[in-house]
Structure 1
């Protein structure tokens, strides 16, 4: 794993890349789950310390939102794909057949195990620097930072707090059955706001909700903390 830029003991590296599905098919050899547990703690400490020092004016709630975005399964899986970690994971035959090397959960867990392995093979400062080198660029990546956000719940909360009325979605589809595309228009009390498209009704509605949240919060100066930080990072 030269892409990590950190020397990890070969045996520890092999363990970090051993998924439980592989272990079950090979006489129950040790898995990467203990390293994952350790790496999760190192990741959390490094990110929390960085955010605390970098954003001294942010309250605890906003810091928690940023941390959650940076250490989320989707964020870690995104990092793993960039490093091409998937091709190195030792998986059982069942997981290989079902595309386990591309599953967000497996990729994210393996990244945590690799962080744990880096800590054991080096020291806390080296492991911390590794985490920051991998994770902090996400602060400039809007798609990564907001990938897991529940936009539909957010717009419901905004509409209720401002007394705007009922939130509804109008969805249309186009294309052949095997490759349909969906378009959703979000309305609040009959007024159209955001429009979203996607390969499923759910994705289209989510995009429409995201666009509506951005419209309503940006115009009123109440942008979501993720949007605010991303804006600062790109200035």
Structure 2
């Protein structure tokens, strides 16, 4: 039984170490996700700017088409004026030309505004593209570093898992089921040390007769309070 208790203690130490390694690995994966999210945000911002430029360019082209149409109307009306015979018709065409010229001026102003906005956004796109390129380079380096750490941790986890399997093969199935259930119920700690009359797992006082039984180490003893398997640890010195 003493050998089984020693193996349980070793198993608990290995499992605790694996838990620590997996937690660190999880943290690294979270950092990798943050890196990717940062890149995604930068790319989305750049894509949105490009979408705005495309929309403005399309609107500018529509305005330019309208401007050409109005300019053609003005030219046609001015040509027609040469053939007008009555003053009334002359005045009507004159009003049409004046209205078309006003609309032409408005279209030209709107086109200039679109051009200015496109130029502004294009400059912003150039700046953000440069920042994104730098961010991608830095992120690639950081990602490689984090992934190397993840891989190193996985190597340690694999080594500890191999040690764990070697121990579990030597322990009875019923004992392993009990150990596994206790780990699930007790925040990963199935084994607790007993010292100076106390269970160090829950810090509760142990009955004297139970504590005395621990000295013999001829059976598995559980804490009556937290049910963890108890292993006697005497004060050193």
Bucket of the pairwise TM-score, normalised by the shorter protein: under 0.3
Larger radius of gyration between Structure 1 and Structure 2: 2
Select the structure with the greater relative contact order (CA < 8 A; seq sep ≥ 6): 2
TM-score, normalised via structure 2 length: 0.21
* Structure in which a larger fraction of residues adopt helix: 2
* Structure in which a larger fraction of residues adopt strand: 1
